[in-house]
Amino acid sequence: MEPLGTGTIQQELSTTVSETAVSVSAHTEETLSHGHTHTLYAEPIFSWGDVVITNTLLSSWIVVLGIIVLSLIIRISLKHIPGRLQAFFELVFEQALELADGVTGSRQKSRMFFPLIFALFLFILLNNWIGIIPGVGSVGMTVSEGGHETFISFLRGGSADLNTTLALATIAVVASHIFGILAVGAWRHINKFINIRALIEIPQRVRNDPTVLIVNPINVFVGLVEIVGELAKIASLSFRLFGNVFAGEVLLASMSAILAWGLPIPFLFLEVFVGLIQATIFAILVLSYLSMHTSMEEH
């Protein structure tokens, strides 16, 4: 028997490693194909004419319906002598207002922003949690893709869809500008970003103060940078929320694939906490944007 050359040994080792990698990849794909899929995009579950309904959209509708029903129940049960449910929500509202006061510095502003901020908080919180409720993710359908059967859950947290978080961030930033225009006036608010006033002042003040030839163009440039900052707010809000919630779903799916009994429980409680923290951070950031844009200070 002739000894194998170095090239032959390397070739056989490479072939063995490749076959092993393919086998492991196929086994992993087969294991995950019978479990829950966690793609970056929302999975369509049915269509209504030309409108495609995804699992994240369906979850968002259910969350909105739940918030409406809960609001009506609280409204109907309001009494001069509060019961347990009313007392609980009064405590929650009071604590939320005190937290908002720490950001706005004014109870009047906190009350003005509270309906929008608390609605965003509830919507995001319930969307963060709906995807990790035990048993919810197991309700779905199996579809065949490329010869493999893939399970798609009917309900997936809306926050795990970048379209939802991007829409929420856009609404929040646009709302902050609307409140800013209403509070300080359109002219003052626009000049925070497109400093027309600084350009107009140059010919009026250049004789008495030549430094305006340098200072005012810088102020105009700073305003244009603020526009980029507003766009960055949308990206920051949307990607932060999406990234944390999506990563949590992938983590739970990975732990369930390793050992379905017992192992995912600590991570499940962790994701409950993360969902609460992310909803709170989103609400506080939006509240700070609203507070800044409604401030009369120019500097």
Of 22-36, 250-264, 275-289, give the range with the top mean pLDDT.
275-289
CA 127 to chain centre: 10
Q: Which residues pair with 141 in a beta bridge?
A: 152
Q: Residue 180: give the domain boundaries.
A: 40-293
- Please write the tens of the pLDDT for every residue from 247-270: 888 887 788 778 767 777 888 888
What HEC string does 63-96 produce?
Answer: HHHHHHHHHHHHHHCCCCCCCHHHHHHHHHHHHH
Is 61 among the domain residues? yes
Number of domains in the chain: 1
- Please write the tens of the pLDDT for every residue from 166-225: 999 999 999 999 999 998 888 888 888 887 777 777 777 777 777 777 777 787 788 788
Is 299 among the domain residues? no
Is the CB of residue 206 less than 8 Å from the CB of residue 142?
no
Is 219 among the domain residues? yes
Distance CA 204, CA 99 (A): 46
Is 215 among the domain residues? yes
Q: Which of 36-50, 165-179, 240-254 is the least confident region? A: 36-50
- Please write the tens of the pLDDT for every residue from 65-93: 999 998 898 888 888 888 888 888 889 99
